[in-house]
Structures are given as structure tokens and as C-alpha cells.
Amino acid sequence: MPKTNAPLYVLHMTISLVRMVSLIFPPSHQAFYNTASRMVKIFIGNLPREADKDEIQVLFSQYGAVTECAIVKNFAFVHMDDRKSATKAIRSLHLYKLHGTAINVEASRGKNQGAVKLHVTNVEKGNDDELRTLFEEYGTVSECAIVKNFAFVHMDNSDEAMDAIKGLDNVEFQGKRIHVQISKSRPRFKYFKICVLVTAVVS
């Protein structure tokens, strides 16, 4: 039976693991996990109406220094001072019940992390092109579909989606006032689950 070259085997396994991680995590997510000292931006979704900025800041301050906090409609962004504090806050507060509502907490998605799905209510079928044109004033729209009296619009990144919400929520479109928010149907917080799976396989 041939002997195994242990150092070479370990090297091959390390290279394979690095390739696997690079495929699973986009560069922006790798930056979140690998940079120990930089500020980390956290996304908080499904916020109840009663939540305010001071309350969110106090909640996250339990896990580290909060440098910035901003609420936009039913979601918020919190900037924490370092990766370790942010990771602890995310793991502790994801699905935490705030005023009886389970909030979604995760590392904020950057511009290269895929589309953000928006839910638009009070629209009529047949106005897909007009609705797309309206949202394109705020960024790239990868998909726009009206279903009955509501629609789903996919924006290119979270910054553009936030701008669209600020600019278009409660404005008049085709004679009706539309309401825009981040869709709750899109599953989030998937990268921590993948990370756990990779760890289990390697172990």
C-alpha cells in the first residue's frame, strides 16, 4: 500500500478548501469575515413600527460599539466598530422579538451581492413597463413583475433599493399611491448556514 505524503496532502486539502470558500462567499462577504478591525455594516429587517433609532442603538450596543444607526421604513442599518462585535450581535439578535416581531439581522449586502427584492402594493396589472421605468430612476432593475394589485421589483443592490424606497414609497403612480418596502419572501441569512455546512464537511 503506497504511503501518503502528509504535507502534500494537507496542502491540497487547504487549496481545495480555499477554492470552496471563494465559490460560496463573494469577495464582499469574505471581507466581512476576514477583516478584524474595519467597521461592519449590519442589516436589520422586518422592524416593527414602534421601533426607534435609540432603541436599536441600545440593543446592539450590548455587543460592542455602535458608530451609526439609521432607520428607513421597516428596516435599519447599524454600523459596528469591529467584526467580532458584529458577528456576536448578528448571532444573538437574528429572529430576536422586538415589540413582539421577530427581526432579521445579518451582515449588510454590498453592491456586488445580488439583487434586492422590493414589494410594491396598490398597482394595477398592465403597467409593468411604466413601473420598471419609475424604479430605474433610482438604479438598475433586473426584474419587474406585477401580480394582481402588487408587484415585485428587483434592484441591483441594497443602496439603490434604499434610495427607491425613500423616493417612491407613498407617491402617486397611475392615479394611485403606491407603497414600497423590502420583500419578506426572500430568504436572508443564508451565508451563516453555508458556513456551518462547510465546517461540518471539513471536520
Top pLDDT among 179 and 195 is at 179
Regarding pTM above 0.85, the answer is: no
Give SS3 for 137: coil
pLDDT of residue 25: 44
Top pLDDT among 21 and 185 is at 185
In the chain, which segments carry CATH 3.30.70.330? Answer: 40-107, 116-182
Q: Is the pLDDT of residue 191 over 80?
A: no
Residue 28 and residue 25: Cα distance in Å, rounded? Answer: 8
Strand pairing partners for 147? Answer: 150
What does each C-alpha distance from 40 to 83, 89, 125 come to in angstroms? Answer: 6, 11, 40
Top pLDDT among 27 and 160 is at 160
Q: Which of 51-60, 77-86, 128-137 has the lowest mean pLDDT?
A: 77-86
pLDDT tens figures, 134-146: 998 888 888 999 9
Tell me the CATH number of domain 116-182, given options 3.30.70.330, 1.10.150.120, 3.40.50.920, 3.40.50.1950: 3.30.70.330
Q: Which of 137-141, 168-172, 189-193 has the lowest mean pLDDT?
A: 189-193
pLDDT tens figures, 6-53: 666 555 565 555 455 444 444 444 434 433 346 788 999 999 999 999
The angle at the Cα of 45, spanning 42 to 48, to the nearest 5 degrees, equals 130
Q: Could you tell me the three cell numbers for 101?
A: 416581531
Q: Note the CATH architecture for domain 40-107.
A: 2-Layer Sandwich (3.30)
